[in-house]
Structure 1
Amino acid sequence: MTLSFFDQFMSPTLFGIPLIALALTLPWILIPKPLTRWLNSRLLTLQGWFINRFTQQIFQPISLGGHKWASLLASLMLFLITSNMLGLLPYTYTPTTQLSLNLAFAVPMWLATVIIGLRNKPTYALGHLLPEGTPTLLIPILIVIETISLFIRPVALGVRLTANLTAGHLLIQLIATGAFVLLPLMPTVAILTSMLLLLLTLLEVAVAMIQAYVFVLLLSLYLQENV
């Protein structure tokens, strides 16, 4: 029986129980924890350097009021990276290919930035809906357009992450299926296709890291507008 290429994006089940909770918990288990020793291992040192560089780059243009989000966004960054890269292993599942999960991350974070802006700087936050110097006739149209663009931000965050990961996984599966079919017919072409598959896998690792960074970076930009 030929399975659909989209079956890999279905939540795995065991005895009728969805295992998405296990897939969401596993990335935290893979992250190394600090030790009680005076000197950390090389892996812990590299992880600490990465987190420090990331938080410094993200929060450098943000005012001090937004620095309270550092631990939250850094944790979200690590979770998204490990979740995205977990799906590249055999017999695994990528939770971040589900649009509902990505929206569950994007909508509360975006809504929190909007509420912070309305609470701290309501005039400045509402001023984004109408650029300065707008002609009188265009004011209602621009307010509607800016409001729609404001509410479409979390949808764009979730769809961007889902589409990039889904497209990469589908392309890998298509090329792997083609190489498997061509192996008995044209071995040379199958080997060349397998080499292309290896390069594509390395590219997908980079995409998994970049998309997690872009997700958190856009959230930090939304936060920067409201603090």
Structure 2
Amino acid sequence: MKPLSAALLAAGAAMLAWLGARYLSVTDAFGALASRESVLSTGAARLRGAAGLAPRAAARPPTTATASSAPADGGAIRGASSPQAQAQAKASDDDALARTARQKLAALRAPLSPEAQNDPFNVQSWLPPPPPPPAPVAEAVQAPPPVAPPLPFTYVGMSNANQAKPQVFLANGDQLLIVSPGDVIDGRYRFESIAATGAVFTYLPLQEKQVMTIEGEGN
């Protein structure tokens, strides 16, 4: 029992270490995202501060103003407000870029199920999802090679067996055929030869040899 208890304890320790590593990886991912958002927010705040510290035109002391000095004062005021407007526009652009970056990061993350969102040990990946697997290619089915049909003839008998071209009697349904070696039957079969155990035919469309057994048949 002691070795079994030690093994169970070791397995439990390994499981806890694995769960801790998963939790640390999730924490690191969220920490990196928070650091990036903090850097973007700090940059935007600095830009706003720089805009607030832009030099402004000092007010002129009250003097007897002339008609010719009024346009010069207005031009100075407009010139002092131009750098501030530029800084504010730049800060607005930086905010828009930061929002765009956060939106892009959110779009890259794969959608999570409700169970995965509530799982603190779930590992989230910011990589784009893999492409779908290619559609399976249907393999071409090869048709079996054609074969000659069974011989339609039945051996009936033979005459002139000792001659060079004996005559063989064959039945094809209700027909009685008398053939000799070399004769063509119905344009499909050619009678080749006959021996004591069988008659040889050639199926002409495929040039395939076929043997009809005649062993035990009467002559």
Specify the TM-score bucket, using the shorter chain as the normaliser: under 0.3
Q: Which has the larger strand fraction?
A: 2
Highest Rg: 1 or 2? 2
TM-score by length of 2: 0.28
Query: What is the TM-score when the length of structure 1 is the normalising length?
Result: 0.27
